[in-house]
Structure formats: C-alpha cells, structure tokens
Amino acid sequence: MDYKNLLYSVDENNIATLIINRPKAYNAINAETMGEIGHFFSKTAPKLKGIVGVVVTGAGDKAFVAGADIKAFLTLDNKKAQKLSKQGHLAYNHIENFDKPVIAAVNGFALGGGCELAMACHMRIAGAKAKFGQPEVNLGIVPGYGGSQRLVQLIGKGKAMELLLTGDMIGAEEAHRLGLANHVVPQGEEVAKAKEILLKIATKGPISIAKTIELVNLYFNKKKDGFKAEIEAFGACADTKDFKEGASAFIEKRKANFTGK
Ligand code: CAA
C-alpha cells in the first residue's frame, strides 16, 4: 500500500525500514500521518513476509520527528484533542506490541510526539546530533502520545519529571547516559547500527523473540501478572521445535537452525 507521508522498503536481509516523510515540517506528525503509522504497524507490516524487524527513522538530515504537527493545534478543543491523543496511543501501542523488534534510528530532533514515537519502539539508536525532549509544557499542554508514561518507564521518575517539567532538550550522549538511547553512533550511521542489531536478533528463535517482547511489555501492564505470563510463555516455548533445536544445537556444539515452529 502507498502512503502519503510514509515510505517503506524491505532490504535483502528482510529488514523493513519505515521513513516518516514530511521533511519540510521536520517530519511533524499530523492526524493523517498518525493514521498511516497505525495502519502500517497493524495492517501492512504484519503482512511483510519473513521480515525480521523494522527500523523507524525520519526523512532528511534535520529531524527524526519534531513532534505532533503544531500547525493543526489551534483548532483543537477538549473533544478533538482527546480523539487525536487516542489515535496516537493506538498507533504507538501497535509499535510497542509488534511481535518483531522495532528500532528507532534517531537522526535528528525527536521532540514531543517524535520522542514518544522513539520511546514506543523497542530500542533507540541516536546519531551524534540527535536531540530528545518533551517540550509540551512550552505550548501549555501535556504529552499526548504516551510520553508521560514511557519516559518514566525508560529513565525513572526523577529525571523524567525534570525533562517533562522543564521541556529541556538533551543531546545524544545525555540520552545514552540516562538509558533513553541504547547506543550513540556517528551521525548518519543510525540505520546501519539498528540493522546490525536486527541481524543479530534474526539468528535467534522467532517465537522466543515474540514472546520476550510480550513479556517485557507486560512488566508495565498493571492489569496482568507478568511473572505468571512468563511461566506460561516458558512452557509454551518448551513445546516448540525451535526450543528442541536450540537446546540440541548447544549440546551438539553447532549453530541452531530456527524455523519459527
Ligand atoms: N509542527 C509543525 N511544524 C513544525 C514542527 C512541529 N512540531 N517542528 C518544526 N516544524 C516546522 C517549522 O514550522 C518550520 O516550517 P516552516 O519553514 O514552514 O516555517 C520547519 O519545520 C523548520 O523548523 P524551524 O524553522 O523552527 O527550525 P529550527 O532548526 O530553527 O528549529 C526545532 C527546530 C527546535 C525542532 C523547532 O522547529 C521546534 O521547536 N519545533 C517544535 C517542537 C515541539 O514543540 N514539538 C512538540 C509538539 S507538541 C506534541 O508533540 C504533543 C504530543 O505529545 C502529541
């Protein structure tokens, strides 16, 4: 399917890349783009046969995503804003719950809804010039796409509170120090690093990868017991051919050949 504000491709190693493509607006996400992101992760990506994961990045050399599109903000009222926020939550939840790893390659500004997009991904690779922040308080609003929750999950309450209340932007090194960025790489090498990690994950058992993503996400789900789910997932994995293969390969001192069964 063709999108108006997104570009996607799948490379020779079966890694999908999704580009948020509104470079003139620093890839700011309007409602249409958010709808497309939700559609990509719920409808298109699950049908991309055999992909091992997705890299998300921004078009151009300035921004990953500079936030929700502020130009559409002036007409918002309570009802419209809640609708927009719910649309963002839904789309980003599709990313967080995607059964294959999704890595944000942060190539510039990741602010507001852009930082929230990066945080919904399973990992973040920061280029040296990346800037992260939740500047919503500068506009007299709060994060709308999960930032008040995911930032606390990733960096802890004290630092998250400071960034959310001051609206300060931080650079790649500080983001790395705080645990917001998994790695910092020279500018322009973010996608390559993300793909290197995905290639490593591609050698593992796909069922165990999908279950691990689910389990880690469950830690933050207040309605479900992640420990109980882990016991069940451990049992379910034991019934797979991949588990027998992985354990046999270790014992036989050879590389495992996983089939996803
Ligand atoms: N929405 C709409 N347009 C945006 C944008 C945004 N979030 N961020 C940048 N742009 C546009 C600018 O309007 C400008 O377009 P024009 O050339 O047509 O005027 C273009 O991108 C380049 O921006 P600047 O000229 O401002 O570039 P700069 O290098 O001087 O500054 C910047 C870059 C620091 C990212 C600055 O653009 C900025 O502060 N942007 C807004 C960041 C922000 O507040 N994001 C949070 C939005 S609220 C949100 O996201 C809520 C939520 O959680 C849902």
Closest to 128 measured CA to CA, from 56, 195, 61, 196? 61
pTM: 0.95
Return the residue matching tokens 């994961």: 53
Q: Are 26 and 66 in contact (CB under 8 A)?
A: yes
From ligand 1's centre to the CA of 164, what distance in Å?
A: 17
Any idea which fold 6-201 has? Answer: 2-enoyl-CoA Hydratase; Chain A, domain 1 (3.90.226)
Q: What is the pLDDT of residues 108-125, one digit of tens each?
A: 999 999 999 999 999 999
The confidence score (pLDDT) of residue 235 equals 87
116 is catalytic: yes
Q: Are 224 and 97 in contact (CB under 8 A)?
A: no
Q: What is the pLDDT of residues 194-253, one digit of tens each?
A: 999 999 999 999 999 999 999 999 999 989 988 898 999 888 998 999 999 998 999 999
Ligand 1 proximity of 116 Cβ (cutoff 6 Å): yes
The confidence score (pLDDT) of residue 93 equals 97
Closest to 8 measured CA to CA, from 138, 78, 102, 115? 102
Pocket test for ligand 1, best of 20, 26, 117, 136 (most atoms within 8 A of CB): 26
Q: Are 14 and 202 in contact (CB under 8 A)?
A: yes
Q: Are 54 and 122 in contact (CB under 8 A)?
A: no
Question: What residues contact 189, with CB distance under 8 A and at least 6 apart?
Answer: 127
The confidence score (pLDDT) of residue 12 equals 98
